[in-house]
Amino acid sequence: MSAAETSARPGFTIRGWHVLAGVTAFFAVVIAVDASFMVMAIRTFPGQVSVTPYEDGLLYNRRIAQIEAQERLGWRASASAAPGEVVMAFQDRAGRPLTGLTVTGKLERPATETGRVTLRFVETAPGAYAAPGGRLSGAWDLTAEARGPSGGAFLAERRLTWP
């Protein structure tokens, strides 16, 4: 083999413009993908969480006022899951049982609205109220409202679990 044959065709060498083109292409792809993700995100979620934000704000203010009124009452509630029923106990600020309350409630699954159960509580002992829940199993969210004879209202939310 002669020296002329080996130097006739030089090998590929990376030059500066190759590096520039590669880096530019890389960032162009990254920017294009980010831009397409942003466009898809804005099209699928325009930022509007509620159709009625003003009314939702008013309801939130009413909820805060209800919580403050409930704290002034000083009532305490506990709830437990018994076989086939929900049991609640109410006490006043001094720890005495609250009698004569009208207690209603509902049970809902934490992840879905199917299977909602409406509850009517009956006073079974001083300060103790029970409502039949039927055949329940798994986790349920309880929302109970108690109204006293003098007009006080108490809202309790608990997560209960049946085997």
Residue pair 159/108 in contact (Cβ under 8 Å)? The answer is no
Higher-pLDDT residue of 27, 95: 27
Residue-level pLDDT at 36: 96
b vs e for 105-143, b when ≥16 Cβ sit within 10 Å of the residue's Cβ? bebeeeeeeeeebebebebeeebbbbbebeebeeebebe
Q: Which of 26-40, 80-94, 96-110 has the highest mean pLDDT?
A: 26-40
pLDDT per position as a tens digit, 45-91: 867 777 888 898 899 999 898 888 888 888 888 888 888 888 999 98
pLDDT per position as a tens digit, 83-98: 888 899 998 888 888 8
Which long-range CB contacts under 8 A does 87-94 form with residues at least 24 apart?
87/128, 87/129, 87/130, 88/121, 88/128, 88/129, 88/130, 88/144, 88/146, 88/156, 89/127, 89/128, 89/129, 90/127, 90/129, 90/146, 90/154, 91/127
Q: Mean pLDDT throughout 147-159?
A: 84
Residue 1 confidence (pLDDT) above 70:
no
Which of 116, 107, 119 has its CA nearest to residue 160? 107
Q: What is the CATH number of domain 75-162?
A: 2.60.40.1080
Residue 19 confidence (pLDDT) above 90:
yes
